[in-house]
């Protein structure tokens, strides 16, 4: 994803998705997250791109392991 010098998020792209519904939710969350702190260079705000993982957790209790938690992740990168 890209963050411009005013902190606005754009160009969100799922690179390694899990499922179309989870990928869409990851994008929705990032786009609705509001303004971010922009990167700075020499004291001035600049446009920049970042990549990061979003983790989804399934808290369903299985019969074989009642204490298990399954984690899944989607990778979001600049698009």
Distance CA 29, CA 40 (A): 24
| Predicted TM-score (pTM) of this structure | 0.67
- Reported as a pLDDT band with limits 50, 70 and 90, residue 70 is very low
pLDDT digits (tens, 9 = 90+) for 3-37: 999 999 999 999 888 889 999 999 999 999 999 99
Distance CA 49, CA 77 (A): 8
The arithmetic mean of pLDDT across residues 43-49, rounded, is: 96
Q: And the tokens for 17?
A: 């998705």
């Amino acid at each position: 994803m890209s963050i411009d010098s005013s902190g606005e998020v754009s160009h969100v792209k799922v690179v390694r998705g899990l499922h179309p519904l989870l990928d869409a939710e990851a994008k929705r969350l990032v786009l609705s997250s509001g303004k971010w702190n922009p990167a700075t260079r020499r004291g001035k705000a600049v446009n920049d791109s970042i990549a990061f993982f979003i983790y989804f957790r399934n808290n369903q209790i299985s019969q074989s392991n009642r204490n298990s938690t399954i984690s899944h992740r989607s990778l979001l990168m600049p698009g």
